[in-house]
Amino acid sequence: MGKSQIRIGLLGFGTVGSAFVELLETQKSSIFSKTGLELVVTHVAVNDLTKDRSGLNAQTLLTNKPNEVIENTEVDLVVELMGGLLPAKDLVEAALENSKPVITANKELLSKEGRHLFTLAGVRKVDLLFEAAVAGGIPLIRVLRESLLGEPVEKIMGIVNGTTNYILSQMEEKSMPYSEALLEAQNLGYAESDPTADVSGQDAASKAAIIAMVAFGADVSLDDVPFEGIENISSADVAFAKRAGCAIKLLAMVSKYENELEVQVYPAMLPNSHPLSSVRDSFNAVFVEGAAVDSLMLFGRGAGGMPTASAVLGDVIDAAVNLSNRTYRDIGDLTEVPLIQGDEQKSAYYVSVQVIDEPGVLATVASVFAKHDISIQTMEQEGMDREARLVFITHEVEENRLEGALSELSNLSCVEKLGTVIRVLEA
């Protein structure tokens, strides 16, 4: 057994970093009585030394030079909660090179540099833990790495971005405009410092890549994951989905088909009977299907300071116990797996088209679908002063065939504007 005091160097004291320090303070004695370890945050690095840091006690050393935290021999373990690729990558790399365990919530970093950093942690025989990087407070990574280690996992489908789920819920429940809902999500501490990563689907794509690494041992990086976001989803789309008994959700899909993987992110209309459709607000949920376990779902807060801090603290305790027992756990080898190209996948689609309201227009638009051998399930027309909004739900069609029809539709003189195109999934 090694030392009983573990000194933590914290990089970042923003939404998650400050919540982590607050949570650790309240749980310190309980952690000591359960593990015999005293966890102390001794060093904190931030950008701006002039900001109020009243959450820190007087003994904590505050610096704006994060390298000093990494290199300090008094720091046993590093918690990276700065976010972004650089300088986080260099700092995490340096900590691991110094044989210090690292806990991070940084999905961008892991989805771009995961393979390299996991290899380095393995070489140095230290933990690199990242529960908070996917689905906030939900202990998904631990379940995949431990409880489901022997499970032949087939599919993981998740709402893994709290900001977008919050926005979509507010649009649906309160008819709130998109921009107002985004502002609220930012004020509540859910969004990334640049919320484009959330609304474009990139943040969820990073999480999908990490899920693919952990669940399938696949060497997948963010660049491999096609993603679509929610920026183009309008109030009319949300209202249509509600009338049709569906909810629009941003989904991360990681599925295994024989030796290939599908890893992608897109918004989809889910019928109300699907367990993921009732996940509201900043909550996340991850639905796992496996050959033995059948179906299971994990649910919890996907964003916000305290829920994320809870996941970080769980990892810190794990790493501290491992450090004290002079052990660690690595993620295992990542291997290259062929990825299915999204455009070969079949789905039903919601397609909205804004047209001039004149005789023959509906027939012209419908003929384009027919020409591309796309069958229509339902069609609805909404009048709007000399214009009309046509909404089609197609039967299942490959994405590339639909693309062909959309491109032809956009060239028709009667089409004012192609609206949103959203996959429609079954329960």
Interface residue with ligand HSE among 75, 191, 286, 317 (CB under 6 A) is: 191
Binding mask 209-228 for ligand NAP (x = CB under 6 A): --------------------
12 vs 101 by CB, closer to ligand NAP: 12
Residue 13 CB, shortest distance to ligand HSE, in Å, is 17
Residue 302 in contact with ligand HSE, rule: CB under 6 A:
yes
Q: Is 12 in the site for ligand HSE (CB under 6 A)?
A: no
Please write down the HEC assignment for all residues of the chain.
CCCCEEEEEEECCCHHHHHHHHHHHHHHHHHHHHHCCEEEEEEEECCCCCCCCCCCCCCCEEECCHHHHHHCCCCCEEEECCCCCCCHHHHHHHHHHCCCCEEECCHHHHHHHHHHHHHHHHHHCCCEECHHHCCCCCCHHHHHHHHCCCCCEEEEEEECCHHHHHHHHHHHHHCCCHHHHHHHHHHCCCCCCCCHHHHCCHHHHHHHHHHHHHHHCECCCHHHCCECCCCCCCHHHHHHHHHCCEEEEEEEEEEEECCEEEEEEEEEEEECCCHHHHCCCCEEEEEEEECCCEEEEEEEECCCHHHHHHHHHHHHHHHHHHHHCCCCCCCCCCECCCECCHHHCEEEEEEEEEEECCCCHHHHHHHHHHHCCCCEEEEEEEECCCEEEEEEEECCEEHHHHHHHHHHHHCCCCEEEEEEEEEECCC
Residue 389 is encoded by which pair of tokens?
């909004």
Of 201 and 302, nearer to ligand HSE (C-beta) is 302
Determine, following the binding rule CB under 6 A, whether residue 190 of this chain makes contact with ligand HSE.
yes
Q: Is 83 exposed, middle or buried (0-12, 13-18, 19+ CB in 10 A)?
A: buried
4 part of the interface to ligand NAP, by CB under 6 A:
no
* Window 41 to 70, contacts with ligand NAP (CB under 6 A): 45-48, 51, 66
42, interface contact from ligand NAP, ligand HSE, none, CB < 5-8 Å by kind: none
Among residues 107, 207, 249, 256, the one annotated as catalytic is 207
Read off the tokens for 311.
């996941």
- Residue 163: which of ligand NAP, ligand HSE, none does it interact with, CB under 5 to 8 A by kind? ligand HSE
- Smallest gap from Cβ 198 to ligand NAP, in A, equals 10
Strand partners for 73: none
Among 6, 10, 16, 204, binds ligand NAP (CB under 6 A): 16
Per-position x/- string for 303-342, each x denoting binding to ligand NAP as judged by CB under 6 A, each - no binding: xx---x----------------------------------
Site for ligand HSE in 118-177 (CB under 6 A): 136, 161-163
Q: Is 160 in the site for ligand NAP (CB under 6 A)?
A: no
Q: Give yes or no: 207 in active site.
A: yes
Tell whether residue 193 is a contact of ligand NAP (CB under 6 A).
yes
- Binding mask 65-94 toward ligand NAP (x if CB under 6 A, else -) reads -x--------------xxx---x-------
The single residue among 9, 114, 136, 158 that binds ligand NAP, judged by CB under 6 A, is: 136
Residue 70 Cα distances to 75, 163, 236, 419, angstroms? 7, 31, 51, 50
Beta bridge partners of 389: 354, 382
Q: How many residues bind ligand HSE (CB under 6 A)?
A: 11
Report the partner that residue 55 touches, choosing among ligand HSE, ligand NAP, none (CB closer than 5 to 8 A by kind). none
Q: Establish if 13 lies at the interface with ligand NAP (CB under 6 A).
A: yes
User: Residue of minimal CB distance from ligand NAP?
Assistant: 14
Asked whether position 203 contacts ligand HSE by CB under 6 A, the answer is yes
Binding site for ligand HSE (CB under 6 A): 136, 161-163, 190-192, 198, 203, 302-303
Chain residues in the site for ligand NAP (CB under 6 A): 12-17, 45-48, 51, 66, 81-83, 87, 105-107, 132, 136, 189-190, 192-193, 303-304, 308
Catalytic residue ranges:
207
